Amino acid sequence: MTRITPELIFEKGYDGMKNNFVPKMDVEEVDLNAILPPEFQREDIDLPNIPEFTIVRHFVNLSEKNHSLDRSIYPLGSCTMKYNPRINEVTARLPGFAQIHPLQEENDGAMELIYNLGEQLREICGMDAFTMNPAAGAHGELTGILIFKKYFESKGLKKDKIIVPDSAHGTNPASSVMAGYSIIELKSNEFGEIPLDQLEFAMQGGDVAGLMLTNPNTVGIFDRNITKITEIVHKYGGLCYYDGANLNPIMGVSRPGEMGFDIIHLNLHKTFATPHGGGGPGAGPVGVKEELIPYLPCPQIVKGTQGLACIEQSDTSLGRVRSFWGNFGVLVKAYTYIKALGAEGIKRAANMSVVNANYLRSQLQDIYDIPYNANGRFNMHEFVMDCHLPNGVNAEDVAKSLLDRDLYAPTIYFPLVLHEPMMVEPTETESQRDLDKLITALREIYELAKINPEQLKFAPHKTPVGRLDNTYAARKPVLKK
């Protein structure tokens, strides 16, 4: 790997060099003074004098410092870093999708794609309607919780609390608080599941709007009591929110709508293979059951007798959550993924994600402490290891040591139901051969902890920068050069 270069692209230009990246003006010239007050005008736009090939080198060098799924395994728990099939990129670049604008006169094709994608997601999730507007997962959560709010307001009920289990995604409590709710945290039991008696006790308070749940949860456990859980919440008039972050292992297999959930958000950029993590943007469609349809954000694309129509606003809707129709390119990629796999393929992908996670677990559990597997219980798409290695080597040391082996590190220090958690999600993307590379590395690191822990504690050694001081970076951040 190349070492970090200190130069920014703005520092690479110099006098005498010419840039040729400003295209020729191809629209009618307008007098700036007629459209822009003088205080917003400037003479110099400060672009570096730099030729095209220098720009290419600059960005290729930067990209080599980045780890991506196109380079090797990316088993980042709860993030579902699956391979983005190249056909997704092909369809998203079709001029009919890429060169359109939401304000042009006709957008029938785009509307049809949005509508059809909604139909597919309804089928996969067992919900009655979807909005494609939210721009990412947490944005979908916020939209969903605002639908909670609208629903209770319209019924004249005051509910100001939401139950979130400790095995939930960190964004769940954050989204609820942003929408004005306070949180009741439920501790999961020794099986990684929701204790029903405590759930019932919390619901009895009468001021609880509902429950946010990821199923399977962040320790990769499918809650066997799921229908009982949603029954309890409904019994006290609450709503059930399904965080779709972990939909991957159950897509095409079981449906959140049938588990009793009223609202769901999906992460198209996780489950449906559109790129994310710097390769975004994402999309966080929200699905609802029939009685919540009136509160969905606008615009909504609906099918009437005259074909597809776009509802720009309605009295009951919570309003707009995003400009235009959301991140359309992402929708094209997700639709392509679903259509390319088909119903059987979707189910097979889900099953393979479970097989891969359990293969990894089975090859590591003799040396790593992997809880929640009593009585030979299987995990779903991911599992969490508690990384207490010999000589005090911890989860962070293991993670950094994986980087030295050109493997991406799984998520660490989440969920904090364990002390040294490492959350591993291989997804269905990886072959057995690639999984074996990760297994070999993790076993090697374990052995190394016994004889040379110092090497692990100061890892990584081969990356562009070495071990960063997390504490110092947080205490004294240098935000500007």
237: left (phi over 0), alpha (psi -120 to 50) or beta: left
Question: What residues numbered 378-407 form the site for other proteins, per CB under 8 A?
Answer: 396
Choices 78-86, 101-109, 289-297, 410-418 (CB under 8 A): range interacting with other proteins: 410-418
Give the shortest CB-162-to-other proteins separation in angstroms: 16
Q: Is 416 in the site for other proteins (CB under 8 A)?
A: yes
Q: Is 359 in the site for other proteins (CB under 8 A)?
A: no
Nearer to other proteins, 9 or 183 (CB): 183
Give the shortest CB-475-to-other proteins separation in angstroms: 5
Tokens at residue 266, please? 């999906």
Give the shortest CB-415-to-other proteins separation in angstroms: 10
Q: Is 465 in the site for other proteins (CB under 8 A)?
A: no
Give the 3-state secondary structure of the chain.
CCCCCCCCHHHCCCECECCCCCCCCCCCCCCHHHHCCHHHCCCCCCCCCCCHHHHHHHHHHHHHCCCCCCCCCCCECCCCCCCCCHHHHHHHCCHHHHCCCCCCCCCHHHHHHHHHHHHHHHHHHCCCEEECCCCCHHHHHHHHHHHHHHHHHHCCCCCCEEEEECCCCCHHHHHHHHCCCEEEEECCCCCCCCCHHHHHHHHCCCCEEEEEECCCCCCCCCCCCHHHHHHHHHHCCCEEEEEHHHCHHHCCCCCHHHHCCCEEECCHHHHCCCCCCCCCCCCCCEEECHHHHHHCCCCEEEEECCEEEEECCCCCCCCCCCCCCCCHHHHHHHHHHHHHHHHHHHHHHHHHHHHHHHHHHHHHCCCCECCCCHHHCCCCCCEEEECCCHHHCCHHHHHHHHHHCCCCCCEECCCCCCCCEEEECCCCCCCHHHHHHHHHHHHHHHHHHHHCHHHHHCCCCCCCCCCCCHHHHHHCCCCCC
Nearer to other proteins, 162 or 268 (CB): 162
**Cβ(449)–Cβ(391) below 8 Å:** yes
Nearer to other proteins, 264 or 395 (CB): 395
Give the shortest CB-387-to-other proteins separation in angstroms: 12
Residues in the chain: 481
Nearer to other proteins, 186 or 330 (CB): 186
Give the shortest CB-10-to-other proteins separation in angstroms: 31
Give the shortest CB-414-to-other proteins separation in angstroms: 9
Out of 474, 479, 480, 481, which residue is the one contacting other proteins (CB under 8 A)?
A: 474
Nearer to other proteins, 170 or 453 (CB): 170
Place of tokens 């997700």: 334
Give the shortest CB-477-to-other proteins separation in angstroms: 10
Q: Is 187 in the site for other proteins (CB under 8 A)?
A: no
Nearer to other proteins, 252 or 415 (CB): 415
Give the shortest CB-395-to-other proteins separation in angstroms: 9
Out of 471, 478, 480, 481, which residue is the one contacting other proteins (CB under 8 A)?
A: 471
Nearer to other proteins, 132 or 417 (CB): 417
Nearer to other proteins, 475 or 480 (CB): 475
Q: Is the dihedral of CA 34, 39, 43, 45 positive or negative?
A: negative
Choices 213-221, 324-332, 359-367, 408-416 (CB under 8 A): range interacting with other proteins: 408-416
Nearer to other proteins, 306 or 471 (CB): 471
**Cβ contacts of 205 within 8 Å, gap of 6 or more:** 161
Out of 470, 478, 480, 481, which residue is the one contacting other proteins (CB under 8 A)?
A: 470
Choices 126-134, 244-252, 260-268, 412-420 (CB under 8 A): range interacting with other proteins: 412-420
Place of tokens 């095209």: 52
Choices 95-103, 200-208, 238-246, 471-479 (CB under 8 A): range interacting with other proteins: 471-479
Nearer to other proteins, 10 or 458 (CB): 458
Out of 24, 475, 480, 481, which residue is the one contacting other proteins (CB under 8 A)?
A: 475
Nearer to other proteins, 45 or 474 (CB): 474
Question: What residues numbered 251-310 form the site for other proteins, per CB under 8 A?
Answer: none
Peptide bond into 165 cis (omega under 30): no
Choices 49-57, 296-304, 351-359, 470-478 (CB under 8 A): range interacting with other proteins: 470-478
> How far is 374 from 224, CA to CA, in rounded Å?
14
Question: What residues numbered 189-208 form the site for other proteins, per CB under 8 A?
Answer: none
Number of C-beta neighbours around residue 148 at 10 A:
24
Nearer to other proteins, 60 or 473 (CB): 473
Q: Is 413 in the site for other proteins (CB under 8 A)?
A: yes
- How many chain residues bind other proteins (CB under 8 A)? 9
Out of 158, 224, 303, 419, which residue is the one contacting other proteins (CB under 8 A)?
A: 419
**In the complex, which residues of this chain contact other proteins (CB under 8 A)?**
396, 412-413, 416, 419, 470-471, 474-475
